[in-house]
Structure formats: structure tokens, C-alpha cells
């Protein structure tokens, strides 16, 4: 405790803050990446006028509250104040659309990755570039706004993501880490910047509109891990800490997306390594040895924070439906006068799911709160089905929701592993869903038929990952990012490995056959739900 207090007092630490879909987390780490303190605050997106969004006020307030929770944790544990650090890193949900004018005014409400109304632009840009442009990507949102002749486009001076926006607030720098930038516009791994030929193609595509800007002029500057991305300004320090205790001048690493921080948090940045991050969304990533042979709508092409090419199978929906059902069970216990911690409810029910049938007894669930591009849904409607001949019991009920959380993502991973024959010997997983050991990881191992490893830092996720990238600024002159992670952070990290068993793998395969056949039912439910709004 005393040595940790001395580290904090000397400012020899690094801070990481990540904006997840439902929670903003902040962590403080030492030189080796060990977590000294953490804090966070819950927040929720809003569905306003057909747009999934978070307000600027919510972003600023959430940032401040998460940092204050971290500072309070430091005071409680070490009886000292957090006044400085060697570096700070910001991470957030990838993609989305935050356009600003020359006076730094946000031109339209933040359009998050969750909005699936850019199918037309996604398809046209994919054909133009011969490169997959998912609906979530910033360039897809921009071109869709152009196709819809939205007046604000003419006034754009700067376009960024959530992580880029928060970093800009704190440092004044309009930059992005290369992994985050690769979810805005395609990246050239050789130049480690945007693909010049595609920038030119896009400018030609929209030339008739006569906008005063060229696409490269409004995109953030691209940086790789280890490069300094500016320093915390006086205004940034006051935004984080209105009390005035936090000092300005702290170095900042390039802001990254949750995909990049997930790779770092699982030490999955080398070729043939893979990782899976689960939360409101789910995405699996594999670092490639060579380019894919084809363009697939179900697979994104992004990069590691160091700029290596990565194939990503992304699903917009993952844990939201599970969280809703667990909350309902918790409310039920409360009504009956049973006091149970919500974490205890999760753990108890997750463990009980292992007693269910390997194929979930014929039950089906689809946790689509929003649209899901992998299965052709532009809107969502969570759906649960228990046919008359199914085995409807609690274990199967929880198990099918765990199965379906990975369903849409698996469709993309099947392309990568079966059509492209990409070999993956082990995948590291992280996210709060894996806190209960050998449950979600066991199911995921069966789903992908690949060993799934979980570290004891699994629940910390991206906030820890961006703290490690901030910490890496001090190591970058002498070590590559791979060396830093291998030799400094993960040298003695313990892993819990779930290996696929044939019963679960076969049961999951039967579940997926029903899952695919049942998609028209969900499409009808989503259409009905949209008609009622």
C-alpha cells in the first residue's frame, strides 16, 4: 500500500478511460500495468427521432463522473489525492458519426455505431472501393447523409468518433489511433494512414456536390501506438477534475476504439492471435498473416493499434437481452423479500445454465435490441420462442440466451475460419460476461470449436487496455508494442482456458440451424415493432 501510494504521489502512473455502451470505466495502473484503482459510472444511449445517440452533456458528465469515481477510489484506498500521472488514454465505442463545424458546434446529434440505416451507402462504397465498408463506419454515415441531401454536410469542418471527440476535449488535438481510424475510413498498412486511392475515389464520387472540403481535410490525423498525441490542457484538466487538483501537462496516447483496446487487454496483437470482446455488442478479431481472398459483408477489416491488418466479425447485439432477463429475475427475488446481490444472480443463473441441454432443448432467443447487419435486420425486436415440444426449463432458458449472444458473431467467424481457412489456435476473451468462470467461455469454445482463454483481468476490458497504451508511451522508444506486452505486462499472467467438447459443439451446431431458420420470425417481429412506433 505504501509503495503504491508513493507511486501515485509521484505521478508515476497511467490513467485509462473507456466509454462503453452502458458504462464508462476509469482505471489507474502502475509501470507494469497492474491496476491500482478503478471507478466508473453507468450511462445509457437514447433512441430519439429514430437515432441511437448520447448527448454532449451526457458525454462530458459521464467523463467527469468516471474520473471522480477513480479519484475517490484512490482516496479511499491510499488516503491521498490523484493529482498527476505520466500519461492518459481515452477509448470508446468505435465508428459512428460526430460532425462539427468550424466553430466546434456539433452539427447533428451523435449517431452511434448502433444505427443501421446506412445500407445504401455501405453497399455503394463497398463496391466503389472493393473493400468492406460496414454500416457502422463513419464514412458510411457521412455518405448516407450526402445521399439524403442533409444540409449540415456542407458545413462540416471536422468529423470524428466518440474517443476522438473526448480526446479533443482534453487535449485540443484532432487525432486518432490507427485502430480507431480504421473504423472511420480504410487504412493502408504500408503508409499507416488512410488509403489515398480511396480518398481520391470518394472525392470524385461527391464532386458534383461542390462541398468546400475534401475528405482527408475533415478526418482526424492518424497516429500509431507509442506516439504522443498531445497533452492534457488546463481546460481538459478542469473538465476531468473541477476541484483543480489534477494538473495539466500530462501526456496523452492516441485515442483508440474498443476493438484496439480489447486486442491490447488480451495481448492479441500478433499474427494468428485472436480475441473476442463482449458487451452490448460482440466482436471477434484475428490478426492476419495475409490479406483475405475476397470481400465479405460480414467481416470488417481494421488494424491493431500498431497498424497490423485485422479481420473482425462484429455483431451489434450481445448482452443487452441477458441483462434485461437477469434484472427481471433480480426484481422477482426482491418482490419475494429475498435479498440477493445482482452479481450473485448472474453467477448463480450462469452456473445453472450448464445443467441445460446441449442444444438448449429446442428453445430460441434473439437479443436484437437494434438492427443486425449480419442477418439483414435494419431494426431490432428481442424475441424468445419456446415451441410446444421444447424442454422449457430455467437451465435451458438461461443457456439459450448465452448461446444466442454469440449467434450473429459466429456467422462471421464461420466465414473467416471455414471459407478463408484462417488458423487460430486459441482466442482470448474479455468482458464482464466472463466473470463467472467456465460458463460463457465454455459455451463460446463449443460455438467456435476453438479453445477460449480468459485472463483474471477479463472484466476490466478496454479501460485497462487503453491504460496500457498510455503506459506504453514511456516504453515506446526502446520496445515494440508486442515486446512491451509480452515482457512487461503479460509475462506472468494466469489464464483460465475452456476447451471445446464435442457435446457442446454438436449442440451449438443444432442450435445454429434453428437460429438461422427462425430469422424470418424475428424480421416479422422487428417490422411489427417498428410499425407500432
Diameter over CA atoms, the chain: 67
* Cα–Cα distance for residue pair 404/262, rounded to 1 Å: 22
Q: Going from the first residue of the chain to its last (533 residues), give the mean pLDDT of each consecutive group of 10, the final group possibly shorter.
A: 88 96 94 94 93 96 97 96 97 96 97 90 96 94 98 98 98 98 94 97 97 98 98 98 96 95 88 85 87 86 92 90 97 96 96 97 95 84 95 98 95 90 83 88 93 73 92 95 92 84 96 95 87 64
Please, what is the Cα angle at 257 between 251 and 263, to 5 degrees? 95
Please, what is the Cα angle at 309 between 448 and 186, to 5 degrees? 115
DSSP codes joined into one string, 347-371: HHHHHHHTTS-TTGGG-EEE--SS-
Nearest Cα neighbor of 27 from 79, 95, 77, 61 is 77
Q: What's the confidence (pLDDT) of residue 426?
A: 76
Per-residue pLDDT of 386-414, as tens digits, reads 999 999 999 999 999 999 999 999 998 99
Q: What's the confidence (pLDDT) of residue 432?
A: 81
Q: What's the confidence (pLDDT) of residue 470?
A: 98
| 188: β partners | 193
Q: Which three cell numbers stand for residue 472?
A: 506504453
Q: What's the confidence (pLDDT) of residue 530?
A: 72
* Cα–Cα distance for residue pair 127/134, rounded to 1 Å: 12
Q: What's the confidence (pLDDT) of residue 377?
A: 85
* 340 touches 333 (CB < 8 A): yes
Which pairing describes strands 221-223 and 274-278: parallel, antiparallel, or unpaired?
unpaired
Q: Which three cell numbers stand for residue 293?
A: 481472398
The average confidence (pLDDT) of the chain is: 93
Please, what is the Cα angle at 325 between 322 and 327, to 5 degrees? 105
Q: What's the confidence (pLDDT) of residue 490?
A: 87
| 100: β partners | 106, 158
* Cα–Cα distance for residue pair 255/244, rounded to 1 Å: 24
Please, what is the Cα angle at 507 between 501 and 508, to 5 degrees? 90
DSSP codes joined into one string, 443-474: HHHHHHTS-EEEETTTTTHHHHHHHHHHHHTT
CA 461 to chain centre: 9
Q: What's the confidence (pLDDT) of residue 48?
A: 93
Amino acid at each position: 500500500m505504501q509503495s503504491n501510494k508513493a507511486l501515485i504521489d509521484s505521478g508515476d502512473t497511467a490513467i485509462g478511460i473507456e466509454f462503453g455502451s452502458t458504462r464508462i470505466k476509469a482505471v489507474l495502473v502502475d509501470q507494469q500495468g497492474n491496476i491500482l484503482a478503478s471507478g466508473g459510472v453507468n450511462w445509457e444511449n437514447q433512441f430519439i427521432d429514430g437515432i441511437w445517440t448520447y448527448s454532449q452533456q451526457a458525454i462530458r458528465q459521464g467523463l467527469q463522473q468516471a474520473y471522480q469515481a477513480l479519484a475517490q477510489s484512490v482516496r479511499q484506498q491510499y488516503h491521498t489525492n490523484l493529482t498527476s500521472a505520466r500519461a492518459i488514454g481515452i477509448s470508446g465505442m468505435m465508428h459512428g458519426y460526430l460532425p462539427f463545424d468550424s466553430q466546434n458546434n456539433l452539427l447533428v446529434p451523435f449517431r452511434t455505431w448502433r444505427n443501421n440505416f446506412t445500407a445504401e451507402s455501405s453497399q455503394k462504397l463497398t463496391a466503389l472501393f472493393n473493400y468492406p465498408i460496414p454500416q457502422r463506419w463513419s464514412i458510411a454515415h457521412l455518405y448516407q447523409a450526402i445521399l439524403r441531401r442533409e444540409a449540415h454536410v456542407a458545413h462540416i469542418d471536422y468529423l470524428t468518433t466518440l474517443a476522438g471527440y473526448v480526446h479533443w476535449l482534453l487535449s485540443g488535438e484532432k487525432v486518432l489511433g490507427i485502430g480507431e481510424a480504421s473504423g472511420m475510413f480504410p487504412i493502408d498498412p504500408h503508409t499507416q494512414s488512410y488509403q489515398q486511392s480511396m480518398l481520391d475515389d470518394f472525392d470524385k464520387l461527391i464532386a458534383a456536390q461542390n462541398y468546400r472540403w475534401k475528405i482527408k481535410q475533415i478526418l482526424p490525423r492518424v497516429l500509431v501506438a507509442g506516439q504522443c498525441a498531445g497533452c492534457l490542457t488546463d481546460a481538459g484538466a478542469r473538465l476531468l477534475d473541477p476541484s483543480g487538483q489534477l494538473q495539466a501537462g500530462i501526456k496523452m496516447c492516441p485515442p483508440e476504439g474498443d476493438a484496439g483496446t480489447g486486442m491490447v487487454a488480451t495481448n492479441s496483437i500478433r499474427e494468428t492471435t485472436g480475441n473476442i470482446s463482449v458487451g452490448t455488442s460482440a466482436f471477434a478479431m484475428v490478426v492476419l498473416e495475409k490479406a483475405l481472398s475476397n470481400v465479405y459483408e460480414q467481416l470488417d477489416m481494421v488494424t491493431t493499434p500498431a497498424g497490423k491488418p485485422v479481420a473482425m466479425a462484429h455483431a451489434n447485439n450481445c448482452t443487452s437481452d441477458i441483462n434485461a432477463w437477469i434484472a427481471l429475475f433480480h426484481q422477482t427475488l426482491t418482490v419475494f423479500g429475498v435479498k440477493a446481490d445482482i452479481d450473485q444472480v448472474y453467477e448463480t443463473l450462469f452456473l445453472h445454465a450448464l445443467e441445460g441441454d446441449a442444444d438448449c432443448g429446442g428453445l430460441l432467443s434473439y437479443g436484437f435490441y437494434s438492427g443486425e447487419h449480419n442477418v439483414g435486420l435494419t431494426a431490432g425486436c428481442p424475441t424468445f420462442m419456446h415451441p410446444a415440444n421444447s424442454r422449457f426449463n430455467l437451465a435451458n432458458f438461461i443457456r439459450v440466451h448465452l448461446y444466442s449472444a454469440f449467434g450473429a458473431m459466429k456467422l462471421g467467424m464461420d466465414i473467416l475460419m471455414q471459407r478463408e481457412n484462417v488458423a487460430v489456435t486459441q482466442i482470448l476473451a474479455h468482458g464482464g460476461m466472463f466473470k463467472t468462470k467456465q460458463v460463457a467461455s465454455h459455451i463460446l469454445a463449443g460455438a467456435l470449436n476453438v479453445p477460449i482463454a480468459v485472463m483474471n483481468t477479463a472484466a476490466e476490458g478496454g479501460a485497462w487496455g487503453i491504460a496500457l497504451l498510455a503506459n506504453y508511451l514511456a516504453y515506446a522508444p526502446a520496445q515494440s508494442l508486442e515486446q512491451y506486452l509480452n515482457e512487461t505486462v503479460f509475462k506472468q499472467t494466469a489464464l483460465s482456458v475452456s476447451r471445446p467438447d464435442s457435446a457442446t459443439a454438436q449442440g451449438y451446431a443444432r442450435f445454429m440451424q434453428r437460429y438461422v431458420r427462425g430469422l424470418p420470425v424475428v424480421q416479422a417481429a422487428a417490422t411489427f415493432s417498428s410499425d407500432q412506433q
